[in-house]
Amino acid sequence: MTLGVASFTTHAEETLTLDWIDLIPESERNQFDSYGMPAVDHSTDVMKQSKVGGIRPELNGSKIKIPGFVIPLEGDENNVTEFLLVPYFGACIHVPPPPPNQIIYVRFPKGAPVQQLWDVIYVIGTLKTETVSHELAETGYVIEGTEIAEYDDL
């Protein structure tokens, strides 16, 4: 199976390490910069800009590992059980928020320790092509998280 820039061979238990650009359909990639950030024209009305955010249905059900920043949604002072994963620090605070294919809703039932979530991390789990509308943003993907790992940029 070919996923965007890189090529991966998929086996039932193999984990795909994805970059954010891999979540964007080929037909929309020209609307993003080389870092996977939406190319926003600040001189025009935000509401009139072209709509991006399509998903890649062929990724549904894949076990993946993807780096990102956490925006906590549910949990307590010690553990976060639901959060948004975004490709860059401060996403969802800026206007406009990233498109739906650049925000992942993560369900992490066993809870991730809050102190592990301040810097970029890897989230590992099963990716679903499922839309979630939250007051902060709309997401195009959901991860049923099984593991949080320290980010290494090697």
CATH number for the domain harbouring residue 13: 2.40.50.870
**Residue 143 domain flag:** yes
* Average model confidence (pLDDT) across the chain: 81
- Residue 139: give the domain boundaries: 2-36+53-150
* Residue range 49-70: mean pLDDT, rounded: 87
Task: Please check the confidence at residue 6 and state whether its pLDDT lies above 60.
Answer: no
Two tokens at 131?
Answer: 């839309």
More confident residue, 35 or 149: 149
Inside any domain, residue 46:
no
Backbone angles phi, psi at 116, to 5 degrees: -85, -5
- The answer to whether residue 10 sits within a structural domain is yes
pTM for the whole thing? Answer: 0.79
Cα–Cα separations (whole angstroms), residue 55 to 73, 104, 115, 149: 23, 11, 31, 25
Condensed to tens digits (0 to 9), the pLDDT of residues 112-135 reads 888 777 889 999 999 999 999 988
Whether 41 maps to a domain, the answer reads no
What does the pLDDT average to over 95-120? 87
Query: Could you say which DSSP state residue 38 is in?
Result: B
The domain total for the chain is 1
Q: Distance between CA 49 and CA 62 in Å, rounded? A: 31
Whole-number pLDDT of residue 13: 66
Q: Which tens digits make up the pLDDT trace of 11-20?
A: 456 999 999 9
Strand 141-150 versus strand 138-139 pairing type = unpaired
